[in-house]
Amino acid sequence: MKRIAVNIARLLMAVTFILSGFVKAVDPLGTQYKIHDYLAAMGLARYVPDALTLTSSVVLSATEFILGICLLFAIRRRLISKITLVLMTAMTLLTLWVAIADPVSDCGCFGDALVLTNWQTFWKNIVLLAAAILAQRYPLAMPRLIGESNQWIVMNYSAVFILLIIAGRSLYTLPPFDFRPYHIGADLKSGWLKMMEGQDSPYSEFFIESTDDGEDITEQVLTTGGYTFLLVAPHLEQADDSEFDVLNSIYEYSLDNKYPFYCLTASTRNGITRWQDITGAEYPFCNTDETTLKTIIRANPGLLLLKDGVVIRKWSHNALPTETELSKPLEESELGQLPTETVVTKILWILTWFVLPLVLLTIADRLWAWSKWIRKNKKNNNPLINKEDKIMRKKIVAGNWKMNMNLQDGIALAKELNETLKADKPNCGVVICTPFIHLASIAQFLDQDIIGLGAENCADKEKGAFTGEVSAEMVKSTGAQYVILGHSERREYYKETPEILKEKVLLAQKNDLKVIFCIGESLEEREAGKQNEVVKAELEGSVFNLSEEDFRKIVIAYEPIWAIGTGKTATAEQAEEIHAYIRSIIAEKYGQAVADDTTILYGGSCKASNAPELFAKPDIDGGLIGGASLKAADFKGIIDAWKK
Ligand code: PEP
């Protein structure tokens, strides 16, 4: 249930972020204008240069898009879910302010593609914030779509796609998708006529006034049949003049073919004169509302071609039509018709060049992981393969801090270990079991893909009036995954009987904790040759009641009491002998396959110097380490025994 909820939340956020990042990146200038509107509402617009607002627009859209992709693929789950939560908290607060203060009419979260009211945006963010809290609480419940080693490809590919192919190309030419009322195919003439009849129309702000006599020539421009060129330059003072000769030759072409040509601008008389001086422009100039001009085309200047009042072409100054394209009258050339490229062909292009490679990469990655798993399994089931090679069980080195270190020292040790093992990946599972009070703090930063976290004990009661006890559920809620049960110190000093331990094991498993169950004989029992009897009774008393499925989740730690903290280690041969015996009684109870898969650790004065010899034994799968787990270097030395 929890997994389903987290994954619904993850998908909801992924789809929303990808969509909103994409539609913003499609139109970076539109997003920049929106940022400018916000700054203007706060009275800050004049202090922030355009270059900064444009960069922020691109960075914001790319961040949203890449965050969405990371959530979809479950890349760096813990970090990404934290970043998402911080972002959603900030966005929810911002949109609450926008909804209350109403500084802008539309928040712009989906660009021009989907316009929401400010309150709709706020409620949308409340839903996303709840999703972000859930994902941050259980990041590991989001299954990865792609292995860790290939995640960088997905991230870099997405970054290149959104920054260069979408945002960069859109800035250089024009947005590939145009959600505004002046898109290719828009019938300006009909829309304008509707407005004149008093009907609703998106062209209510659209007018064209001659700069010569102030006459409104909108009707003339829109209703004259045939082709009309409109050069759109909101501010001639800031317009790019590098292509002025191309613009002049397009004007000459329009004169030769008797196509009307107007330059629409919101510039002053001085701005127009300056432009004429620099470029030698001879075309007529008209005044139009600045915001409308910025809405018509995302380029300064940009060129529009109308046919019978319908927009049939749009060009940025960086990609104007060439001389060859204009060698024939428009009536006879391809340029004079609506382009064949439609929204559907553009979507297909994106599916082919962005979505398909990622789908193929994911399939290849999963197939590779699956074939690796099959190969391992085959090896395990092949009777011709040596028994030792078949073994699949996990190798583990687990630390037992006991009652050592205050919170600060414990955190420092866990941090040091975390950094050390991140830099030099272990060849085995690593777990640290700490006092209860350390757990929640350490769980915050520990990379639990590398180091598991566990408690040293838990209560034998579910909850209630048991002053001073800590339940399995409480342990689990800290972020821990393991718990040590049945340690000889608990059996001896706190009189934990097999019955009590049986309850603890059941409660731990009920709360999804992996149990490291300790067994081992005292010195007298060893001297009396009773070690096998003792370990068998301990297993029978507390864990042999479990179903096969539940027993498979148990890790056994054999710890001869006479070797714990005494400096006396069982010899590798002594340890192997009893480990083999423990495995044989597990085989008797649950069958050979379960016995072969059960991890059995050795504990008792294990250190870097004797670990390699102990771990080399076929039935010893690692160690439970007390004293030597209190210093990162000592503990690392034991972990490294698996590399030898
Ligand atoms: C232990 O207490 O589990 C243990 C093995 O301790 P040490 O390594 O200090 O002997």
**DSSP state letters, 267-299:** --HHHHHHHHHHH---S-EEE--HHHHHHH-SS
Give residue ranges with CB within 6 A of ligand 1: 400, 559, 564-565, 603-606, 624-628
The pLDDT of residue 383 is 45
- Are 442 and 410 a contacting pair, CB within 8 Å? yes
Q: Which of 397, 400, 401 to mutate to test the pocket of ligand 1 (most atoms within 8 A of CB)?
A: 400
Q: What ranges make up the beta strands (E) of 379-501? A: 396-400, 429-434, 451-455, 482-485
The pLDDT of residue 335 is 94
Q: Going by CA atoms, what residue is nearest to atom 8 of ligand 1?
A: 626
Residue 487 annotated in active site: yes
Structure tokens at 30: 């539109």
Of 171, 338, 318, 317, which is closest to residue 231 (Cα–Cα)? 317
Q: Going by CA atoms, what residue is nearest to atom 2 of ligand 1?
A: 626
Of 552, 558, 553, which is closest to residue 535 (Cα–Cα)? 558
The pLDDT of residue 331 is 95
Distance 363 CA to ligand 1 centre (A): 46
Structure tokens at 98: 């926008």
Residue 334 annotated in active site: no
Distance 568 CA to ligand 1 centre (A): 11
The pLDDT of residue 570 is 86
Distance 449 CA to ligand 1 centre (A): 24
Active-site position among 456, 496, 559, 576: 559
- Are 279 and 248 a contacting pair, CB within 8 Å? yes
Structure tokens at 476: 């689990």
Distance 486 CA to ligand 1 centre (A): 13
Structure tokens at 16: 């929303």
- Which positions ≥6 away from 66 have C-beta within 8 Å? 21, 155, 158, 159, 162
Distance (Å, whole) CA 597 – CA 350: 47
SS3 102: coil
The pLDDT of residue 106 is 78
Q: Which of 605, 609, 638 to mutate to test the pocket of ligand 1 (most atoms within 8 A of CB)?
A: 605
* Torsion angle of the four alpha carbons 343, 116, 296, 52, in this order, in degrees rounded to the nearest 10: -100
Counting from 1 in the atom list of ligand 1, the atom nearest the Cα of 484 is 3
- Classify each residue of 28-48 as buried b or exposed e, where b means 16 or more C-beta atoms within 10 Å of its C-beta: bbbbbbbbbbbbeeeeeeeee
Distance (Å, whole) CA 622 – CA 616: 9
Active-site position among 317, 438, 487, 579: 487
The pLDDT of residue 378 is 66
- Cα dihedral sign for 297, 301, 305, 310? positive
* Residues facing 305 on adjacent strands: 229, 313
Distance 522 CA to ligand 1 centre (A): 14
Q: What is the pTM of this model?
A: 0.61
pLDDT profile of the chain (644 residues), mean per 10: 92 96 95 92 92 96 97 93 96 94 82 86 96 92 88 96 95 93 95 90 91 92 94 96 96 97 96 96 96 95 97 97 94 94 91 95 93 70 46 89 98 97 95 98 94 98 97 97 97 96 97 97 94 97 95 97 86 95 96 95 95 96 97 97 84
